[in-house]
Structure 1
Amino acid sequence: MPSPSGSVAALSSASATIFSIGIVFLGYWGMYEPTTWRFADVMVVLIALVGFGCLGLVPWMATTPVDSESNDTRIRIARHLFLAGVCAIWLAVGVSLVF
């Protein structure tokens, strides 16, 4: 079953939007403060970097050529990467609030 028209553009723009929100979060959170980092601080940055990696791969995976027009495996993988990236960014926000 082919993906709906515009799904590649929608996934790419949504991943770019969440990516920028994550960058704003890290800037606001205080990544550049001169204090020593705790274990929770390192975990926030590592989780956020995993999320950024997933979100950065979404446009590449969604625009990768496929064999046939009806093959939507790359779009499905891009959707899963998008979900993993959003969850990782929100998890980083949650860890920063709790610890």
Structure 2
Amino acid sequence: MQEGGATDLRMRVIKWSVKLKVNPRAVRICQMRRKWGSCSTKGIITLAVDLSDREPQFRDFVIAHELLHLRYPHHGRLFKAVMAAHIPNWRELEILR
């Protein structure tokens, strides 16, 4: 991944943070073998470096998913409803995960 990919991911995180009204403590972009992203209990969002190589819709899905965990730690009914409101086809995108 080129530096521009990390910059694009960070810009998308900012865009989605404003949209979802959340404020991550930090955003890290690094190598991840098993996941595209994660959200720590301390509010740190970590994204896989190669996420920038995926299509924009999938990037937005992963970013929105992780940012929503700042408000909803589990994948409960409310989490799923808010995901559906912002990314209507999130269930199809989740299969690609």
Superposition TM-score, scaled by structure 2 size: 0.34
Higher helix share: 1
Higher percent of residues as strand: 2
Q: TM-score, normalised by structure 1?
A: 0.33
